[in-house]
């Protein structure tokens, strides 16, 4: 499989929730990201005016628009041509002249006549084959004393424990089936979970189907950055027990202290094994998860596997506001135990969705959810 093309197609197909039925970005989204950029670039919001910013892995362009609204001169680039097109539509909608969109694969350096003051990488570098190489390419676009902002997937949270189980079961060619089955698992959409950024359609395919999902720790990112001649400009947060936390991003800003020194000995090159843990209840879940993965791989039934994984997502969704790791893992263990003992048709969470799906398709019935509802 051409994983790069699959990534591009997947993100091209993905309808980001803010782009479903309107081009106008929510005011809350704009305000949140202005503050976020200001925090991690360690600059006041006014200081963005006139700076040259490279916004990378730009998706449908929503963060590029925020940076442009802050007065920066923005060059945005993404792998997926469909997303580049969406970015151009947003630019037109906002009547902005200080932002441009390009298609680019950051596995290679970005060609530009200028070196940028700032490089932004919001939630995408982890979806590449070699994040450490991509970060070096991003740094090559930055001028000396320029700043880079990275938002990455922090290892050790409940989200990526669930994601690792699903990723070891699902096959890329089951994507359309899984999306079809979402209607049965979440017939009224995702609004009721009241966690729209983390519990939504995008995250299902982002976590379960995108070919690469490299989680990382603060220590690794800071060590790698130091090897690349960069120093942190924001502090590493104090994090204790995070196995009960649903999802938190690893966010940091760095300054490029001199010429880029490339390195082959960086650590952010492969995913962290979320099943390895010193915490008893996580280890118990890991042991069970490995058995379930083996059972489902042997069954090799697309509808059963997809339903089981959507059930995992539902379990995560229903507990996403809870922080008690031991309680969450107990619930997960009972779901995993069910998947080991129940008949294949009833191993998904709450519903026998595999049969529901079969029945719906045999009778050619309409999908139970109104179009669009599933995105929210
Ligand atoms: C999770 S989305 C994030 C999009 C955007 N930053 C956001 O937060 O809305 C990941 C994006 O990374 C892009 N991407 C993945 N691999 C890439 C690569 N090698 N070069 C450039 N963009 C890439 C995808 O096309 C997709 O739009």
Q: What is the pLDDT of residue 35?
A: 98
Burial environment of residue 109 by CB neighbours within 10 A (0 to 12, 13 to 18, 19 or more):
middle
User: What's the alpha-carbon Rg for the chain, to the nearest Å?
Assistant: 21
Q: What is the pLDDT of residue 249?
A: 95
Residue 105 in contact with ligand 1 by CB distance below 6 A: yes
Residue 139 in contact with ligand 1 by CB distance below 6 A: no
The answer to whether residues 114 and 237 belong to one domain is yes
* CA gap 257, 248 in Å, rounded: 28
Q: What is the pLDDT of residue 18?
A: 41
The answer to whether residues 100 and 46 belong to one domain is yes
Q: Is 300 contained in some domain?
A: yes
Domain stop point among 197, 227, 256? 256
Q: Is 11 contained in some domain?
A: yes
Measured in Å, residue 351 CA sits from the centre of ligand 1 at 33
Between 192 and 214, the higher pLDDT residue: 214
Does 370 have pLDDT greater than 70?
A: no
The answer to whether residues 8 and 91 belong to one domain is yes
- Domain encompassing residue 124: 3-154+213-256
The answer to whether residues 175 and 124 belong to one domain is no
The answer to whether residues 144 and 225 belong to one domain is yes
pLDDT in tens, 134-172: 999 999 999 999 999 999 999 999 999 999 999 999 999
Q: What is the pLDDT of residue 333?
A: 95
The answer to whether residues 219 and 203 belong to one domain is no
The answer to whether residues 87 and 191 belong to one domain is no
Q: Is 346 contained in some domain?
A: yes
Domain count along the chain: 2
The answer to whether residues 175 and 245 belong to one domain is no
Q: Is 372 contained in some domain?
A: no
Q: What is the pLDDT of residue 359?
A: 58
Q: What is the pLDDT of residue 348?
A: 66
Average pLDDT estimate for 219-230: 97
Q: Is 314 contained in some domain?
A: yes
pLDDT in tens, 70-122: 999 999 999 999 999 999 999 999 999 999 999 999 999 999 999 999 999 99
Domain stop point among 222, 256, 290? 256
Maximum pairwise Cα distance, the chain: 65
- Residue 19 binned pLDDT confidence (cut-offs 50, 70, 90): very low
Test site for ligand 1: of 124, 132, 152, 247, most ligand atoms within 8 A of the Cβ: 124
Q: Is 165 contained in some domain?
A: no
* CA gap 125, 216 in Å, rounded: 11
pLDDT in tens, 240-253: 889 999 999 999 99
The answer to whether residues 321 and 279 belong to one domain is yes
The answer to whether residues 71 and 199 belong to one domain is no
Q: Is 21 contained in some domain?
A: yes
Residue 78 in contact with ligand 1 by CB distance below 6 A: yes
Contacts of 4 (CB under 8 A, 6+ apart): 79, 105, 107, 129
Nearest CA to ligand 1 atom 5: 59
Q: What is the pLDDT of residue 47?
A: 98
Between 190 and 127, the higher pLDDT residue: 127
The answer to whether residues 313 and 332 belong to one domain is yes
Nearest CA to 65 among 16, 115, 114?
16
Nearest-atom index, ligand 1, CA of 80: 25
The answer to whether residues 106 and 228 belong to one domain is yes
Does 50 have pLDDT greater than 90?
A: yes
Q: Which of 225-229, 308-312, 341-345 has the lowest mean pLDDT?
A: 341-345
- Residue 22 binned pLDDT confidence (cut-offs 50, 70, 90): low
Whether the predicted model's global pTM rises above the 0.75 cut: yes
Test site for ligand 1: of 57, 126, 127, most ligand atoms within 8 A of the Cβ: 57
Measured in Å, residue 361 CA sits from the centre of ligand 1 at 33
- pLDDT mean across residues, the chain: 89
The CATH number for 123's domain is 3.40.50.150
């Amino acid at each position: 499989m051409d994983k790069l093309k699959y990534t591009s197609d997947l993100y091209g197909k993905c309808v980001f929730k803010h782009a479903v039925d309107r081009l106008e970005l929510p005011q809350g989204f704009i305000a949140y990201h202005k503050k976020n950029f200001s925090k991690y670039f360690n600059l006041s919001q006014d200081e963005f005016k006139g700076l040259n910013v490279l916004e990378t892995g730009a998706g449908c362009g929503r963060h590029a628009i925020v940076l442009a609204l802050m007065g920066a001169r923005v060059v945005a680039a993404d792998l997926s041509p469909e997303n580049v097109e969406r970015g151009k539509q947003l630019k037109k909608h906002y009547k902005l002249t200080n932002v441009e969109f390009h298609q680019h694969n950051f596995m290679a350096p970005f060609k530009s006549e200028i070196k940028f003051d700032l490089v932004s990488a919001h939630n995408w570098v982890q979806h590449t084959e070699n994040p450490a190489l991509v970060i070096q390419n991003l740094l090559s676009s930055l001028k000396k004393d320029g700043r880079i902002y990275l938002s990455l997937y922090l290892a050790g949270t409940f989200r990526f424990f669930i994601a690792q189980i699903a990723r070891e079961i699902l096959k890329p060619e089951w994507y359309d089936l899984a999306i079809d089955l979402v209607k049965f698992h979440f017939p009224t959409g995702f609004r009721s979970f009241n966690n729209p950024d983390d519990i939504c359609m995008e995250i299902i395919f982002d976590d379960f189907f995108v070919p690469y999902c490299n989680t990382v720790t603060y220590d690794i990112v800071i060590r790698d950055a130091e090897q690349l001649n960069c120093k942190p400009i924001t502090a590493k947060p104090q994090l204790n027990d995070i196995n009960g936390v649903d999802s938190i991003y690893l966010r940091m800003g760095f300054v490029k202290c001199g010429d880029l020194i490339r390195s082959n000995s960086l650590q952010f090159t492969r995913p962290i094994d979320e099943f390895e843990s010193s915490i008893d209840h996580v280890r118990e879940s890991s042991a069970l998860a490995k058995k379930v993965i083996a059972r489902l791989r042997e069954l090799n039934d697309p509808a059963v596997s997809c339903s089981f994984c959507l059930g995992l997502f539902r379990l995560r969704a229903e507990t996403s506001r809870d922080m008690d790791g031991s309680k969450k893992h107990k619930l997960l263990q009972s779901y995993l135990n069910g998947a080991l003992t129940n008949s294949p048709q009833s191993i998904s969470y709450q519903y026998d969705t595999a049969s529901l799906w079969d029945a719906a398709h045999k009778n050619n019935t309409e999908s139970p959810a109104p179009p669009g509802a599933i995105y929210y």
